[in-house]
């Protein structure tokens, strides 16, 4: 049996309402005379009011899917994919087709956004790698050569010469600058991730953050964690890096922890938490936006919340089927 159109359904509902009104007028004792009595007028007004009310209720029920559609349109968030409008067989044909078209549009937009994020993050990582290599091979080697030249000059100058102290100061400044350049290069493209794997890279990250800030960062990695794809490892590392960076800059925390585990349902979860002041009324910035986009790239989710006991939690959840190597 074919579905009736929205126009036919509204017309049928209106006809039914007026037929009901006619039956009420026909089978009630009150009739309309040439000169309308007060009782007859009251009955007529009541019947028309009841007819309008019934018509309104029936139309509101028939058009309820349109309200749900507009409500979903107002709440759709590209960074939280998967929202869909129910495609109810009992709905009018036009509304059902509208829901199907809307769901199809959402699917296409989500896929296009995923590809856009993939291209953007891919270009970003490629540029980070290039800059890190330039810092390591270019500026790093130049600073190393500069230190060697200062050493040679210092050996030629007698110890009692005042220039000896200046040369030693210049050498230490060059050594400090070389360390800073290497630190920046490591943040741009962690060698430990490429050479030693995700667990060791996270361990080096936690140690570096702890040394720089004095905040102890406890790391826990599930020994049953399956091998992840290089893309998944990079996403996990970058989100952990950004979460700990936010802890240092904004949380005013005294301790932090990083946990990477796989659940019974096969979900890989990265959890970064601290005991700081929580999110409060802070407005999400580019860093948090980047975490959401990286999770979206692998079909996962990244959620931030203030913990009941205080502090902030960042939770990245990835389906094993999407991230296992």
The verdict on residue 283 lying in a domain is yes
- Verify that 136 and 231 share a domain, yes or no: no
- Verify that 228 and 324 share a domain, yes or no: yes
Q: Which residues are within 8 A (CB) of 303 and not within 5 positions of it... i.e. 6 or more apart? A: 314, 315, 317
The pair of structure tokens assigned to 281 is 């009324």
- Verify that 15 and 45 share a domain, yes or no: yes
Residue 220 has φ and ψ, to the nearest 5°, of -135, 120
- Verify that 317 and 204 share a domain, yes or no: yes
User: What pLDDT, on a 0 to 100 scale, did the predictor assign at position 153?
Assistant: 85
CA distance 321 to 301: 14
Mapped onto helix, strand or coil, the DSSP state of residue 268 is strand
H-helix or E-strand spanning residue 187: helix 163-188
**Given 165, 189, 213, which residue is the final one in a domain?**
189
The tens place of each residue's pLDDT in the chain, 325 residues long, gives: 456 665 567 767 777 776 676 666 656 665 555 455 666 667 767 876 777 777 777 777 777 777 777 777 777 666 666 777 777 666 667 777 887 888 888 888 878 877 877 787 777 777 877 887 787 778 878 888 888 888 888 888 888 788 888 888 888 888 888 888 877 777 777 777 777 788 998 998 899 888 888 889 999 999 888 888 888 888 899 899 889 988 888 778 889 999 999 888 878 999 999 988 887 766 667 778 888 888 888 888 888 888 888 889 999 998 876 666 5
Q: Which residue is it, tokens 């939690």?
A: 313
The verdict on residue 77 lying in a domain is no
Specify the CATH number for the domain of residue 212: 3.30.565.10
- Verify that 53 and 137 share a domain, yes or no: no
- Verify that 117 and 203 share a domain, yes or no: no
Q: Which residues are within 8 A (CB) of 89 and not within 5 positions of it... i.e. 6 or more apart? A: 96
- Verify that 181 and 203 share a domain, yes or no: no
User: What pLDDT, on a 0 to 100 scale, did the predictor assign at position 172?
Assistant: 87
Neighbours of 102 (CB within 10 A): 17
The verdict on residue 293 lying in a domain is yes
- Verify that 310 and 202 share a domain, yes or no: yes
The verdict on residue 257 lying in a domain is yes
- Verify that 240 and 174 share a domain, yes or no: no
* DSSP conformation class of 160: T
Q: Which residues are within 8 A (CB) of 38 and not within 5 positions of it... i.e. 6 or more apart? A: none
CA distances from 123 to 118, 127, 148, 238, 307 (A): 8, 6, 36, 15, 35
The verdict on residue 44 lying in a domain is yes
193 φψ region: left (φ > 0), alpha (ψ -120 to 50), beta (else): alpha
User: What pLDDT, on a 0 to 100 scale, did the predictor assign at position 239?
Assistant: 92
Number of structural domains (the chain) is: 3
- Verify that 274 and 181 share a domain, yes or no: no
User: What pLDDT, on a 0 to 100 scale, did the predictor assign at position 218?
Assistant: 93
Q: Which residue is it, tokens 């500026």?
A: 139
Q: Residue 16 belongs to what domain range? A: 6-62
The verdict on residue 80 lying in a domain is no
**Given 189, 224, 254, which residue is the final one in a domain?**
189
CA distance 312 to 306: 5
Q: Which residues are within 8 A (CB) of 266 and not within 5 positions of it... i.e. 6 or more apart? A: 319, 320, 321
The verdict on residue 104 lying in a domain is yes
- Verify that 225 and 319 share a domain, yes or no: yes
- Verify that 233 and 144 share a domain, yes or no: no
The verdict on residue 83 lying in a domain is no
User: What pLDDT, on a 0 to 100 scale, did the predictor assign at position 315?
Assistant: 93
């Amino acid at each position: 049996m074919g579905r009736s159109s929205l126009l036919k359904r509204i017309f049928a509902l209106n006809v039914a309402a007026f037929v009901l009104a006619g039956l009420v007028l026909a089978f009630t004792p009150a009739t309309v005379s040439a000169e309308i009595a007060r009782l007859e007028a009251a009955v007529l007004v009541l019947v028309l009011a009841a007819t309008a009310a019934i018509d309104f209720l029936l139309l509101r029920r028939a058009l309820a899917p349109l309200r749900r559609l507009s409500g979903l349109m107002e709440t759709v968030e590209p960074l939280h994919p998967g929202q869909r409008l129910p495609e109810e067989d009992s709905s009018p044909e036009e509304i059902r087709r509208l829901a199907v078209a809307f769901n199809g549009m959402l699917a296409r937009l989500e896929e296009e956004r995923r590809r856009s994020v993939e291209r953007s993050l891919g270009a970003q990582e490629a540029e980070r790698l290039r800059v890190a290599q330039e810092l390591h091979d270019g500026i790093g080697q130049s600073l190393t050569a500069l230190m060697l030249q200062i050493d040679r000059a210092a050996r030629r100058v007698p110890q009692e010469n005042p220039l000896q102290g200046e040369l030693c100061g210049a050498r230490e400044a060059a050594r400090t600058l070389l360390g800073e350049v290497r630190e920046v290069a490591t943040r741009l493209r962690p060698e430990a991730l490429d050479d030693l794997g995700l667990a060791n890279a996270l361990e080096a990250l936690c140690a570096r953050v702890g040394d720089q800030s004095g905040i102890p960062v406890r790391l826990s990695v599930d020994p049953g964690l399956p091998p992840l794809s290089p893309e998944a490892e990079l996403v996990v590392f970058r989100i952990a890096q950004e979460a700990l960076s936010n802890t240092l800059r904004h949380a005013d925390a005294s301790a932090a922890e990083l946990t990477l585990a796989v659940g019974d349902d096969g979900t890989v979860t990265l959890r970064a938490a601290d005991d700081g002041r929580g999110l409060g009324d802070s407005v999400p910035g580019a860093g948090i936006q980047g975490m959401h986009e990286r999770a979206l790239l692998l079909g996962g989710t990244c959620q931030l919340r203030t913990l009941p006991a205080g502090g902030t939690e960042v939770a990245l959840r990835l389906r094993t089927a999407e991230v296992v190597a």
